[in-house]
Chains A and B, each alone.
Chain A
Amino acid sequence: MRMHNISSLKQEFLKKWAMGLQTYRASKKDMSIWERKKAIKLSADIAMASTRTANSYWSRALIYNSSKNHCNKVPVEHVLGSESECLVKASTQLVMNNKRVRSKKILKRSCSVRRMKKILAVPQVGLASSIAKRLVKKRTQVLKSLLPGGEFMDEFSLIKETLDYIVSLRVQVDVMQQLADATDRLNRSKVINKE
Chain B
Amino acid sequence: MDMAGKDNLGAEKGNDDPLNFHSPNMSSDWQFIGANLANSSMGSIPTGNPMAASKGDLLESSSCSSASMVDSFCPANWEQTTHSQNLGFCEINVQHGPSTSNMLGIRTSGLGPIRTGAERTVGIGWTPPNAMLKGGLFLPTASGMLPQSLSQFPADSGFIERAARFSCFSAGNFGDMMNPFSIPESMSPYSRSMASMQGPHRVFSGEGSKTVSGEQYQKIEINVTENPKDVEHGAIEGSPLKNERKTESSMGPHDEPKRCSAVSGNESDEAEFSGGGQEEQSMLEGRGGEPSTKRLGSKKRKRSGQDNEIDQVKGATQQPSEIPKDNAKIQQQGNQNLVSASNRPGGKQGKQGIEASDSPKDEYIHVRARRGQATNSHSLAERVRREKISERMKFLQDLVPGCSKVTGKAVMLDEIINYVQSLQRQVEFLSMKLATVHPRLDFNIEGLLTKDVLQSRAGPSSLGFPPDMTMPYSLLHSSHPGVIHTVLPGVGNSSDALRRTINSHVTAMSGEYKESTSHVPNVWEDELHNVIHMDFNSGATSALLNGQDIRGIVSFPT
Contacts and interface: CB of A to CB of B under 8 A. Distances in A.
A123 B308 CA distance: 42
Interface in A27-62: 30-34, 36-41, 44-45, 54-55, 57
A178 to B, nearest CB: 6
Contacts of B351: 157
A140 B427 contact: no
A68 interface: no
Interface string A155-195: 11101101101110110111111111111111111110100
A165 B430 contact: no
Interface in B369-410: 385, 388-389, 392-393, 395-396, 399-400, 408-410
Contacts of A133: 221-222, 224
A93 B167 CA distance: 44
Interface string A90-106: 00001001100100000
A110 interface: no
A71 interface: no
B392 A163 contact: yes
B424 interface: yes
Given A97-B352, A131-B133, A156-B350, A126 B159 contact: yes
Contacts of B192: none
Contact of A11 (B409, B420, B476, B502): B502
A140 B502 contact: no
Interface in B496-554: 499, 502-503, 505-507, 509-511, 513, 516, 519-520, 523, 526-527, 530, 533-534, 539-540, 543
Given A134-B64, A169-B424, A193-B477, A129 B165 contact: yes
Contact of B228 (A120, A137, A147, A175): A120
A22 B388 CA distance: 43
Interface string B447-462: 0110110010000100
B455 A124 contact: no
A2 B395 CA distance: 11
Contact of A37 (B431, B446, B513): B431
Nearest to B452: A182
A127 B136 contact: yes
Contacts of A54: 357
B410 A136 contact: yes
A97 B353 CA distance: 8
Given A159-B389, A193-B473, A180 B220 contact: no
Interface bracket on B = 35 or more
B502 to A, nearest CB: 6
B395 A174 contact: no
A83 to B, nearest CB: 14
Contacts of B224: 133, 137
B431 A125 contact: no
Nearest to B225: A116
A185 B465 contact: yes
Interface string A16-29: 01100100110000
Contacts of B388: 156
B521 to A, nearest CB: 13
Contacts of A135: 65, 410
A181 B399 CA distance: 25
A189 to B, nearest CB: 5
Most chain A beta-carbon neighbours within 10 Å: one of B435, B484, B509, B519: B435
A130 interface: yes
Given A135-B410, A139-B413, A169 B423 contact: yes
A86 interface: no
Contacts of B221: 133
A64 B520 CA distance: 31
B67 A124 contact: yes
A139 B393 CA distance: 14
Nearest to A195: B533
Contacts of B426: 173, 177
B431 A146 contact: no
A189 B427 CA distance: 25
A166 B432 contact: no
Contacts of B169: 128-129, 132
A163 B435 contact: no
A124 B72 CA distance: 10
Contacts of A143: 413, 416-417, 420
27 contacts: A1-B395, A2-B309, A21-B445, A54-B357, A123-B69, A124-B69, A125-B158, A128-B165, A128-B166, A131-B67, A132-B408, A133-B224, A135-B65, A140-B413, A155-B222, A159-B389, A162-B396, A166-B420, A173-B426, A174-B511, A179-B434, A183-B438, A184-B437, A184-B527, A186-B481, A191-B530, A191-B534
Given A10-B502, A33-B543, A176-B431, 8 more contacts: A33-B540, A116-B226, A130-B68, A159-B392, A166-B419, A182-B452, A183-B434, A185-B452
